[in-house]
Amino acid sequence: MVRVKNIPIQVRTYSGYKSEEYPTCFFLNDKEYDIIAIRDRWYQLDNIPEFPAADYFKVLTRTNKEFIIKHERSDDQWYLVVLMDPIMWISAN
């Protein structure tokens, strides 16, 4: 089973017909990552209390790295979604 860790990040967004329509860059550890493509996007509905409504984006950065970021709408917070290998988090605990 894969464990998920959400790391809070700051995000700059494009606002078109709705606010914060999609991310254009994000900041992590004082480094800026420019987003050059959104490879995929999906939505989490708010019908499960443990998982608040969120928009997910699989993005490609200028450094040619892919990341998954999410926007939790209820508290207007952005996160970098990190998928952790079970072996890594067992040894880290």
Q: Which pLDDT tens digit goes with each residue over 4-42?
A: 889 999 999 998 777 778 999 999 999 999 999 999 999
pTM, 2 dp: 0.82
Torsional sign, CA 29, 73, 20, 56: positive
Cβ atoms of residues 53 and 42 within 8 Å: no
Q: What is the pLDDT of residue 17?
A: 76
Report yes or no: 42 and 49 within 8 Å, Cβ to Cβ. no
| 3-14 vs 31-44, strand pairing mode | unpaired
Interval 48-69: pLDDT, tens: 777 788 999 999 999 999 999 9
Q: How many residues does the chain have?
A: 93
